[in-house]
């Protein structure tokens, strides 16, 4: 009779793990109303961060279920509590806090079932006490790791964002430009780089104060942001200078885009700040120079040419290296023989 009840308990535990796995596989891994991305449709992944998050959740879930099953199978008194911390730590860092808390709950339930099966003579108060202790420890570790990740992400965002306008800063813009530089070389794509400077901006600060000047800079950043594609990048370089990166943009398309931005900016602010205008220097790179610094210097030089020659216009050039002419070895041999 005793063996019958033990077999029945074992069967119920196995059914529990099977049902738990099916529920999580159907509800969590699939696309849900909370916006969790499905692993079955990779087209829905927006970026690498989302992919990493989803894989961390999947790996953490399978790791906890595997550890729980192994912990249940091992009947000798060996504690596997430390192993549960590995997937909990993984999901706390790479995934969301709520999912790590769910994993903590699953880990605690799995440990409780394994402990209950291995120590049938243990008093229920001791069992519940040990379970509560592990639940608190797991939750504390998950909370601390997720809090550390949140703080890290905030610091990373602050390091990349201009505090005044909310757009990216100069350092991160140069990083993105270097990546686009390498991508354009690899795929033989063109790109357009533009520098934009506010004319007479100092008068705004002198007459109305820096608060009004800061408000104007934010307005300009927001206006440009609305006029460009998601693949384009606007950055504040410092002071009243902005940079605009337009990947895979030819001369004509870049010219139309910059003219539209200049006109919309003028229309937006002329009722409040009629003395402010915009000097823009832009270069469309059909082929790329030897370095990113040369690209920046060319756009910067054109912008200052506009400033020196009357302001309030666009100077847009094309950069294209002369094609390299490769000599034919047979022609060289013929020329050498003829010279003899």
pLDDT at 47 (0 to 100): 56
Q: What is the pTM of this model?
A: 0.64
Lowest mean pLDDT among 166-175, 251-260, 321-330: 321-330
Q: What is the mean pLDDT of residues 306-327?
A: 78
Give residue 334's pLDDT: 47
Q: Please name the helix (run of DSSP H) or strand (run of DSSP E) that holds residue 280, with its range, or none.
A: strand 277-285
Confidence of residue 18 (pLDDT cuts 50, 70, 90): low
Q: What is the pLDDT of residue 46?
A: 46
* 206 pLDDT tier (thresholds 50, 70, 90): confident
Q: 3-state DSSP call for residue 67?
A: helix
Going by pLDDT thresholds of 50, 70 and 90, the confidence category of residue 70 is confident
Predicted pLDDT at 22: 53
* Residue 168: pLDDT over 90: yes
For residues 4-26, average pLDDT: 48
**Exposure string (b/e) for 20-59, b if CB count within 10 Å is 16 or more?**
beeebeeebbeeeeeebbebeeeeebeeeeeeebbebbbe
- Predicted local distance difference test score (pLDDT) of residue 75: 66
Q: Taking a C-beta distance cutoff of 8 angstroms, is the pair 327, 336 a contact?
A: no
The predicted model gives 72-94 an average pLDDT of 83
**Cβ-proximal residues to 272 (8 Å cutoff; 6+ apart), any chain:** 216
Q: What is the mean pLDDT of residues 146-168?
A: 90
Q: Which helix (H) or strand (E) holds 194?
A: strand 191-199
Q: What is the pLDDT of residues 107-117, one digit of tens each?
A: 888 888 887 77
CB 307 within 8 Å of CB 199: yes
Phi, psi of 231 (to 5 degrees): -80, -15
Fold adopted by 170-319: Alpha-Beta Plaits (3.30.70)
Q: 28 or 81: which carries more pLDDT confidence? A: 81
Does the pLDDT of residue 338 top 80, yes or no?
A: no
Q: What is the pLDDT of residues 273-295, one digit of tens each?
A: 888 999 999 999 999 999 999 99
Q: What is the mean pLDDT of residues 304-321?
A: 90
| Domain residue ranges in the chain | 2-160, 170-319
283 forms beta bridges with 193, 317
**23-37, 163-177, 207-221, range with the lowest pLDDT:** 23-37
Give the tokens for residue 224.
């440009």
Residues written for the chain:
340
Q: What's residue 176's pLDDT?
A: 93
Look-up: residue for tokens 């402990």? 115
Report pLDDT for 253.
93
Among the listed residues 193, 202, 201, the one whose alpha carbon sits nearest the alpha carbon of residue 302: 193
| Residue owning tokens 């601390």 | 144
Tokens of 168: 């990216």
pLDDT of the residue at 172: 93
Please report the sign of the dihedral spanned by the C-alpha atoms of residue 85, residue 89, residue 91, residue 92.
Answer: positive
Helix (H, G, I), strand (E, B) or coil at 168: strand
The kind and range of the H/E element at 191 are strand 191-199
Neighbours of 2 (CB within 10 A): 6
Token digits of residue 56? 């961390």
Interval 154-176 mean pLDDT: 90
């Amino acid at each position: 009779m005793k063996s019958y009840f033990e077999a029945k308990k074992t069967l119920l535990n196995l059914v529990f793990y099977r049902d738990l796995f099916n529920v999580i596989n159907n509800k969590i891994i699939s696309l849900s109303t909370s916006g969790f991305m499905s692993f079955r449709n990779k087209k829905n992944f927006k970026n690498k961060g989302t992919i990493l998050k989803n894989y961390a959740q999947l790996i953490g879930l399978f790791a906890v279920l595997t550890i729980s099953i192994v912990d249940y199978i091992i009947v000798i008194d060996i504690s596997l509590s430390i192993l549960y911390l590995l997937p909990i730590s993984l999901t706390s860092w790479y995934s969301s806090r709520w999912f790590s808390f769910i994993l903590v709950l699953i880990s605690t339930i799995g440990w409780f079932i394994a402990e209950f099966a291995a120590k049938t003579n243990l008093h229920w108060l001791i069992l519940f006490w040990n379970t509560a202790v592990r639940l608190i420890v797991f939750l504390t570790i998950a909370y601390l790791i997720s809090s550390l990740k949140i703080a890290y992400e905030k610091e990373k965002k602050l390091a990349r964002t201009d505090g005044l306008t909310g757009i990216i800063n100069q350092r991160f813009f140069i990083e993105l430009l270097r990546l686009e530089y390498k991508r354009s070389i690899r795929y033989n794509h063109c790109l357009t780089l533009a520098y934009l400077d506010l004319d007479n901006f100092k008068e705004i600060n002198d007459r109305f104060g820096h608060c009004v000047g800061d408000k104007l800079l934010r307005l300009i950043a927001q206006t440009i942001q609305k006029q460009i594609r998601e693949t384009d990048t606007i950055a504040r370089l410092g002071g009243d200078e902005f940079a605009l990166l337009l990947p895979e943009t030819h001369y004509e398309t870049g010219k139309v885009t910059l003219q539209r931005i200049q006109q919309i900016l003028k229309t937006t602010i002329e009722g409040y700040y009629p003395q402010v205008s915009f000097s823009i220097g832009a270069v469309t790179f059909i082929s790329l120079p030897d370095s990113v610094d040369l690209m920046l210097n060319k756009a910067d030089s054109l912008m200052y040419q506009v400033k020196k020659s009357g302001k309030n216009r666009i100077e847009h050039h094309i950069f294209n290296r002369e094609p390299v002419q490769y000599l034919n070895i047979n022609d060289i041999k013929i020329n050498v023989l003829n010279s003899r």
